[in-house]
Chain A
Amino acid sequence: KIVQFPIKVYFAMT
């Protein structure tokens, strides 16, 4: 199954 992760998974909140 192909999934799209949100950008927050890759860039931490500052």
Chain B
Amino acid sequence: MFEARLLRGSILKKVLEAIKDLLTQATFDCDDSGIQLQAMDNSHVSLVSLQLRADGFDKYRCDRNISMGMNLNSVAKILKCAGDKDTVTMKAQDNADTVTFVFESPNQEKVSDYEMKLMNLDLEHLGIPETEYSCTIRMPSAEFARICRDLSQFGDSMVIACTKEGVKFSATGEIGSANIKLAQTASVDKEEEAVIIEMDEPVTLTFACQYLNYFTKATSLSPQVQLSMSADVPLVVEYRIQDIGHIRYYLAPKIED
């Protein structure tokens, strides 16, 4: 039997909001270490990797490894029925063909359960190599979401240039060109609002705004976002989910052919 119970049910609600526009279906791979989900978006351009560790749940039981193929639009609809303060439990019998979501209101007076059919998905699994990145930028996630939204009005690509002084986001298009420069925060008193850059060597790469704007749907999961860049390898946009895991998005840079 598989059962995962989370008092902070809003995390699962936010996770679905963060992936449902990019992926229509995905497999939740569960074992005794926790829940992993990895899937390419429908156009196979970007990759999403979610990890929710067992020790982050208030109760976690996984007698046998189980892979649950789900339609994420359906899961998102079900999780929309959960209150922000509800406890959410996911459970499934071993080799079951359905999964059940149980929502309990804080005062236990309202308990809802939703049973959903599972899908047989044989999605490809990709190996993500361990990579040392030339540049790593930690910044407020709301700031990054704002920059992606603003610059995508100017062009369908965004250039991210990282040096030890700071990071510059640029876009050009018919209506003109836009540049947003963020300096590295000098005195880091509030980590969550700081821009922190670790740079081995400067990097300038171009990315499709459309995908970056999909990634920023995860903004509500974490006050900070971490961008990791190296020449000619995919960008990693990571949102840490407090005390339980992370969601990482991978996108290859656009390159001159």
B212 to chain A, nearest CB (A): 12
Residues of A within 8 A of B250 (CB): 7, 10-11
Residues of B within 8 A of A6 (CB): 40, 43-45, 252
B interface bracket (residues with beta carbon within 8 Å of A):
20 to 34
Residues of B within 8 A of A1 (CB): 256-257
The residue in B45, B127, B233, B252 that gathers the most chain A C-beta atoms within 10 A of its C-beta is B252
CA gap between A7 and B44 in the complex, in Å: 7
Interface membership of B251, Cβ < 8 A: yes
B45, B126, B256: the one contacting A11 at CB < 8 Å is B126
Residues of B within 8 A of A4 (CB): 45, 208, 252, 254
A-B contact pairs, 29 of them (CB 8 A): A1-B256, A1-B257, A2-B254, A2-B255, A3-B254, A3-B255, A4-B45, A4-B208, A4-B254, A5-B255, A6-B44, A7-B44, A7-B45, A7-B126, A7-B234, A7-B251, A7-B252, A8-B124, A10-B234, A11-B47, A11-B128, A11-B129, A11-B234, A11-B250, A12-B126, A12-B127, A13-B125, A13-B126, A14-B125
